[in-house]
Amino acid sequence: MISLASLRLKNRSCVSARCPNARSCDAATVEHAPLSTAHPIRLFSLATSMLVLWWLAGSLLYLGNGTTITDTFLNKNLTIVSYNIAMSIKGHVWGMKMIVNCRRHRYLARGGIFLVVVALTAGMVGCGLLPYPIPGPIPPIPDPGPSVDLEIRTWHDLDAVRDNLAGNHRLMNSLNATTPGYDELAGPTADDGRGWYPLGDWDPYDHHLYLAFTGTFDGQGYEIADLFIDRPGDNTMGLFRYVSEVAVVKNVGLVNATVTGGHYVGGLVALLSGTVNNCYSSGNVTGEWAVGGLVGANHGGTVSKCYSTSSVTGDRPGGFHIDEVGGLVGRNRRGTIENSYATGIVTGNRYIGGLVGDDDGGTIRNCYFSGSLAGTYAVGGLVGGGYHRTSDRWFTVSNSFWDLQVSGIEESDGGTAKTTTEMMSTATFTDTATEGLVEPWDLVAVAPGDTNSDHIWNIVDGKTYPFLSWQSVP
């Protein structure tokens, strides 16, 4: 049996066993076919199953809304009183059961049922391997093995976190392009131009590639600057790849970052189920789907007292698909975002939001957006939309706003539009007579150049937007 420890990358230049450009990996890591070569097979599998299902539906059944239909195979009239189930699997199965009751063509019906089972099996295999995550909870976290607590002073120290994913780590000074280890680990020349490889291993489409960060990372107020990632063919890209529900990342700034990936792309964290607190990001983040300035996708985690000024771009090939692009978080799936904001430029196609692109059963409170937006469908000043919204996955947005004049966007799936003057007014966030404010923010006005750490938010009335009290004075 291959141990989890053996799945770790022993050669840092070999960034992923699934990457077709990977070099000289340890044998235990070469278990997964490159994504680029697997996709045609997966697409063929799904396409074949769908064609078989449609052929069966057209040949054996034509179910309508309470109508009498003549089946050409059985030459019998069947009355179906129900809602239209012609497009559902349940309809196929129920129809087949009725055909079996007709003794004259029982063998034909059984043959049809066999083909349906084959088609459904192929479809499930195809859907499980296509580039869409399988719905449901993330699998149990494997034990990453023994970890030590690190004091991080260089990029080499930061890189060592990947071998100590359960440790409690502290950043002892800021890191940038002049810090030892940058060129070989985190700069544009690292790994043949691909740059930094995220901490931990997680791919939403391959649950075998799964080593989460389960520890604590305390930046102690320092910054990580000039991070470079250029991996457009890889998913879950960011400084951290997957931060689990027991993990915490706090008190760190990611500045002047350039991050490019495929699905699930965030400056600081690609996929979050844990906690990100007192963090910020700036730079450029680019991906295809679930792209955010700070966090790509928040799946049940918490983002608190954070902000991003990053420019965020998401464009999923094909045009029809949703992009889920947000200034702070791309996709918020049953997660919490509170006391946070974004101010960057957010660009995409479908489901584009100043703060969050797509909210799927999550909670947003005491947040705002004051940047600019561009998109073609479901573009919201604060939240782009709730694409996955159902009766049990309704999201809530409260006490949250966006700048109507700067964004140029009049609509949002949650939140309240304000003018720039109103966004810089203390009353907007403390006077419950204000439209959209149910409970006052923990905010206090301060003099220019001052801060008041007794409150979450500070503002220079009439001159600044609200800012977090731990920030440097705007």
Clarify whether residues 108 and 118 are in a common domain.
Answer: yes
Locate 133 and state its tokens: 């995550």
pLDDT of res. 62: 36
For residues 15 and 322, what is the distance between their CA atoms, to the nearest angstrom? 28
pLDDT of res. 233: 87
For residues 397 and 52, what is the distance between their CA atoms, to the nearest angstrom? 44
Are 300 and 333 in contact by the 8 Å Cβ rule? The answer is yes
Locate 391 and state its tokens: 């009766």
Is 163 part of any domain?
Answer: yes
pLDDT of res. 474: 66
Clarify whether residues 382 and 325 are in a common domain.
Answer: yes
pLDDT of res. 313: 96
pLDDT of res. 315: 85
Q: 92-101, 161-170, 245-254, 261-270: which has the minimum mean pLDDT? A: 92-101
For residues 197 and 153, what is the distance between their CA atoms, to the nearest angstrom? 18
pLDDT over 90 percentage in the chain = 58
For residues 343 and 251, what is the distance between their CA atoms, to the nearest angstrom? 19
Clarify whether residues 273 and 170 are in a common domain.
Answer: yes
DSSP string, 101-152: T-GGGHHHHHHHHHHHHHHHHHHHHHHHHSSSPPSSPPPPPPP-------EE
Average pLDDT score over residue span 112-139: 48
Clarify whether residues 236 and 157 are in a common domain.
Answer: yes
Q: Please determine, for residue 425, whether its predicted confidence score (pLDDT) is greater than 90.
A: yes
Locate 279 and state its tokens: 């963090």
Are 204 and 242 in contact by the 8 Å Cβ rule? The answer is no
Q: Please determine, for residue 57, whether its predicted confidence score (pLDDT) is greater than 90.
A: no
Q: What is the mean pLDDT of the chain?
A: 77
Is 29 part of any domain?
Answer: no
Find the length of the chain.
474
Locate 242 and state its tokens: 């997957």
Closest to 28 (Cα-Cα) out of 53, 47, 3? 3
Which comes out higher in pLDDT, residue 321 or 167? 167
Q: Which residues of 344-377 are buried (b: 16+ CB within 10 A; e: fewer)?
A: bbbbbbbbbbbbbbbbbbbbbbbbbbbbbbebee
Locate 378 and state its tokens: 């479901």
Clarify whether residues 243 and 295 are in a common domain.
Answer: yes
Is 23 part of any domain?
Answer: no
> Please, where are the H alpha helices in 311-444?
404-407, 420-423, 426-430
Confidence category of residue 390, pLDDT binned at 50, 70, 90: very low
For residues 75 and 295, what is the distance between their CA atoms, to the nearest angstrom? 59
For residues 247 and 347, what is the distance between their CA atoms, to the nearest angstrom? 30
Confidence category of residue 206, pLDDT binned at 50, 70, 90: low
- Domain span at residue 341? 151-423
pLDDT of res. 323: 87
Q: Which of 390, 405, 423 is the last residue of a domain?
A: 423
Is 277 part of any domain?
Answer: yes
The 10s digit of each residue's pLDDT in 441-474 is 999 999 999 999 999 999 999 999 999 999 977 6
For residues 459 and 474, what is the distance between their CA atoms, to the nearest angstrom? 10
The 10s digit of each residue's pLDDT in 11-31 is 333 333 333 333 223 322 222
pLDDT of res. 386: 72
pLDDT over 70 percentage in the chain = 65
Locate 28 and state its tokens: 């235990």
Confidence category of residue 146, pLDDT binned at 50, 70, 90: low
Clarify whether residues 419 and 430 are in a common domain.
Answer: no
State the CATH number of the domain containing residue 419: 2.160.20.110
Q: Please determine, for residue 53, whether its predicted confidence score (pLDDT) is greater than 90.
A: no
Greatest mean pLDDT among 130-139, 175-184, 374-383: 175-184
Q: SS3 sequence, 33-85? A: CCHHHHHHHHHHHHHHHHHHHHHHHHHHCCCCCCCEEEECCCCEEEECCCCCC
Which own/partner pairs from 6-14 qualify as long-range (CB within 8 Å, at least 24 positions apart)?
7/201, 7/211, 8/162, 8/163, 8/201, 8/211, 9/162, 9/197, 9/201, 12/159, 12/185, 12/191, 12/197, 13/191, 13/192
Is 27 part of any domain?
Answer: no
**Beta bridge pairs of residue 168:** 216
pLDDT of res. 113: 58
Clarify whether residues 276 and 380 are in a common domain.
Answer: yes
Q: 3-class DSSP state for residue 100? A: helix
Locate 453 and state its tokens: 């750490």
For residues 423 and 376, what is the distance between their CA atoms, to the nearest angstrom? 26
Is 28 part of any domain?
Answer: no
Domain count, the chain: 3
pLDDT of res. 263: 94
Q: Please determine, for residue 181, whether its predicted confidence score (pLDDT) is greater than 70.
A: yes
Clarify whether residues 158 and 257 are in a common domain.
Answer: yes
Which comes out higher in pLDDT, residue 302 or 97? 302
Clarify whether residues 91 and 217 are in a common domain.
Answer: no
Clarify whether residues 171 and 292 are in a common domain.
Answer: yes
Q: How far is CA 279 from CA 271, 295, 415, in A?
A: 15, 11, 23
Q: 60-64, 262-266, 321-325, 384-388: which has the minimum mean pLDDT? A: 60-64
Is 463 part of any domain?
Answer: yes
pLDDT of res. 11: 36
Confidence category of residue 39, pLDDT binned at 50, 70, 90: very low
Clarify whether residues 220 and 307 are in a common domain.
Answer: yes
Is 195 part of any domain?
Answer: yes
Average pLDDT score over residue span 268-275: 97
Q: Which residues of 442-472 are buried (b: 16+ CB within 10 A; e: fewer)?
A: ebbbbeeeebeeebbbbbbeeebbbbbbeee
Clarify whether residues 354 and 469 are in a common domain.
Answer: no
